[in-house]
Amino acid sequence: MAAGGIGNPLGYVPVADGGNPRIISGRCRNEIISGGVFVYASGPAATSSSGAASVLNSEVLFTRDASGAQFNGICMQTTETSGTIAVVTRGVAIVIANATVDAGVPVMCDGNNCVLALGSVASNLTATRRIGRTLTAGSSGGFVLFDIGA
């Protein structure tokens, strides 16, 4: 079975981590997820109690092709079906632009594992879709440096 999603054909390509990378782990939801694919948490409610000892790796479930306000990070490496996943939530990676994107602008994910200029963040709805900023400019289908969470 082939891994799902498109994203950068080389997978997750880290460029910098700001000296303090943030990576969370969990399991992928009944699918294979390719490295470099944008993911979001998609799991059952009320699986943890109040103590840290109650949190299991399997409680956080991720699925692929994040879009809109549903974005938690980028899958680091291709997983097995329902396998363990490492998700980068801070750092700089090389990703694909869906349209022309200027350097330094806020971006959102488009559901195709690409970034798209966000435009005005005047409304609360638009602001919830911000997933980071570009560090370089790029045209549609080209690659840009993306600062996750910036």
Q: DSSP code of 19?
A: T
How does residue 7 score in pLDDT terms, banded at 50, 70 and 90? confident
d(CA 91, CA 74): 10
Domain ranges of the chain: 14-148
Instruction: Tell me the whole-structure pTM to 2 decimals.
Output: 0.82
- pLDDT tens digits for 9-66? 888 887 776 666 688 889 998 899 999 999 999 876 656 666 666 566 667 899 999 9
